[in-house]
Amino acid sequence: MTVSVLIVNYRAYAELDRCLASLGHWQGPDVEVIVVDHASDPVQARTISISHPWARVLTTAANPGFAAGVNRAAREARGRYLLWLNPDSVLTEDVARPLARWLDAHPDAGIVGALVRDADGSIQASARRFPGWSTVLGGRSTALTRLWPGNPWTRANLLTGLEVTTPRQVDWVSGACLMTRRELDRMLGGLDEGFFLYWEDADYCRRARDSGWQTWYHPGVEVTHLAGRSSARAPWPSRVAFHDSVYRYFRKHASPTARALTPVVWTALRARLVFERLASGPR
């Protein structure tokens, strides 16, 4: 077994069905697919299993979060490489084997991510610099990035775009489509399950770098990601999880000097969350 494709699903059965249908064109004896279905609907999960019998569907009534789901799938996996893939992704080409071949040819690389497109064909910011103070201005979802995407802070933080045509080493890549070596995953102990949702991929790549491994972005391999389909089913809890994960990442990786600002960071994140709640209007 070369590649184990690991998919964590949360009530996104229509998207999962479409994802697996697209995967089926390239499924074979060297590629296995494992789906961990959180808050599982028995009827829907059974339908998925019947429609795609080559995929293993592991169900649970609970929803312990994305990191926990990936780790559960990884424990069941047999492949030399683990490919994390979001259930709202669609493949128009083989992704697993090209990424595996690329890692075979680059022994210093522990992680590689594909180019990820939105449904409209635009390129998602799936490769980035590790979060820092410039991310406050130039992060993927900041107001400045939306209003002035070519500003220097955004260009420094978001490392994808039409100008990137060959693989490049980056700090981290999105877990929407990320391949990691099985040996690296075991060494790191998998994803940190303290991250319920969001930023667990950045933390994983950060720990990989600290262990001597490189992370790369490969624009020659593409996947379409219909972003946010699962989180849209619980939008406010997802926003809370996002801010909680930002805070956890800061606590884990900030320098001792920066960590002295922990109360300020916590207050700022909570203030932003309150602002977003108020801006969203009554529910």
- 73-117 residue pLDDT tens: 999 999 999 999 999 999 999 999 999 999 999 999 999 999 999
pLDDT score, position 280: 74
Please say whether the beta carbons of 20 and 55 come within 8 A.
yes
The string of pLDDT tens digits covering residues 216-251 is: 999 999 999 987 666 666 788 889 999 999 999 999
pLDDT score, position 1: 78
Residue 19, H or E segment = helix 13-23
Fold of 3-124+160-230: Spore Coat Polysaccharide Biosynthesis Protein SpsA; Chain A (3.90.550)
Rg, C-alpha atoms of the chain: 18
C-alpha dihedral over 136, 175, 275, 264, to 10 degrees? -50
Please say whether the beta carbons of 40 and 46 come within 8 A.
no
pLDDT score, position 278: 82
Q: Within the chain, which residues score under 50 in pLDDT?
A: none
Check the CA dihedral 44-48-50-55 and report its sign: negative
pLDDT score, position 213: 98
pLDDT score, position 164: 94
